[in-house]
Amino acid sequence: MDFELTAEERALAETVKEFVDNRVEPRMVEIEATNQIPDEIFAEASALGLFGISIPEDYGGSGLSRFSRTLVHQMLGRSGFGFAGAIASHTGIGSDGLVSIGTEEQKRRYLPRMATGELRAAFAITEPEAGSDAGGIRTKARKQGDRYYLNGVKRFISGGARAGLITVVARTNSEQKPKELSVFLVEPSFPGFRIGAVYDTMGTRGQPIAELVFEDCEVPEENRLGEEGKGWIAAMKILNDARPLVAGRCVGACERLIEISTDYAKNRKQFGQAIGEFQAIQFMLADMATRTEGARWLTYHAATLADQGRAKPEIISMAKLFASEALAFVADSAIQIQGGSGYVSGNPVGRFFRDARVTRIYEGTSEIQRLIIGRALLRR
């Protein structure tokens, strides 16, 4: 399989790379300190069309292929997972459900504003008692007339504190049927909705994650996404589609860490020579590059299969698993190469190290990915 980029794909990647390297990265110390991304950065992202990469052209977006979207996320990963996460929670899990199973009326109402970033989106499935076990969801949606009333709590919701539209997974049937869930489009202005705790996290600064509280939250029936009771399939598809994007961001982060590390190895001198001359450093760089290249190929393969209508959940899980664990290794190695300097606050390698940890948790833990892969093998 040939993953040579077309001229159009190279231009897309270079445009996003230039924006991330020259506009986002110089602001990351500020973003880390304030845990907020400046509005002007979001405005520039909107002007570049980053909020609309998953939105079809009919609704004002660019409707990029899965491969091109993954390529964009790869470039976003070059600054870590704060700004990249803010874009990802919107262009991936936040919008994919509406794009894939929304009614025409729902799409016309929301997607044009989502394409510009005027309306930012998020996805809410995780609960205090339901993480990897999505079948354990306790948030309930009770129908009365032409309204649903949602009660429950979602937590660790990326982009939840700033979202103008939230895709919420809730139970509309008996707990005896754990997979009979439904999906709703919830606006923060709906009566009975409020933001609870906003968590202070070790990484992904600039992208606060929040607790969302539903207390008889009133949702019009026309805001149900898809059929009642069919939400399990929709939710799993949303998560599955997001995993190559996570893998792409991991690859981009790995590539940036290798650039930082090779530059350091060329310029840092010990024992009268650049440390890059030492075999120990060369071996570390070789291992970093090998894992990154393997992650890139798996990620591109997963995205290409999706574009061809041949998406395989186990291949997607392999990409997400391998890329996230490659990033953990590469980030740790980048700190080791710099020694004490890598451990000092303000050094970007420390930011990548902290950001890397969440990639083995969200959109399905590493353990869940291994479970998906193992089950697929046993079904053959």
* pLDDT tens sequence across 67-87: 999 999 999 999 999 999 999
Give the pLDDT mean for 40-62. Answer: 97
Nearest to residue 13, comparing CAs of 59, 57, 53? 53
* pLDDT tens sequence across 165-208: 999 999 997 665 667 899 999 999 999 999 999 999 999 999 88
Looking at residue 118, its pLDDT comes to: 97
pTM of structure: 0.95
Looking at residue 1, its pLDDT comes to: 67
Cβ(295)–Cβ(251) below 8 Å: yes
* pLDDT interval class at 133 (50, 70, 90): confident
CATH number for 233-379 (one of 2.40.10.10, 1.20.140.10, 3.90.1530.30, 3.40.50.2300): it is: 1.20.140.10
Query: Which residue in the list 32, 127, 255, 363 is annotated as catalytic?
Result: 363
* pLDDT tens sequence across 238-252: 999 999 999 999 999
Q: Does 2 have pLDDT greater than 80?
A: no
Q: Does 111 have pLDDT greater than 70?
A: yes
* pLDDT tens sequence across 208-238: 899 999 999 999 999 999 999 999 999 999 9
Give the pLDDT mean for 357-370. Answer: 96
* pLDDT tens sequence across 263-305: 999 999 999 999 999 999 999 999 999 999 999 999 999 999 9
Give the pLDDT mean for 116-123. Answer: 97
Tally the residues of the chain: 380
**Fold designation for 121-229:** Butyryl-CoA Dehydrogenase, subunit A; domain 2 (2.40.110)
Q: Does 135 have pLDDT greater than 80?
A: no
* pLDDT interval class at 353 (50, 70, 90): very high
Domain boundaries, the chain: 7-116, 121-229, 233-379
Q: Which residues of 187-226 are buried (b: 16+ CB within 10 A; e: fewer)?
A: beebeebeeeeeeebebbbbbbbbbbbbeebbbeeebbbb
Cα gap 294→287, rounded to integer Å: 11
Cβ(294)–Cβ(324) below 8 Å: no
Can 363 be counted among the known catalytic residues? yes
Tokens 């004490």 belong to 340
Looking at residue 175, its pLDDT comes to: 63
- CATH code of the region 7-116: 1.10.540.10
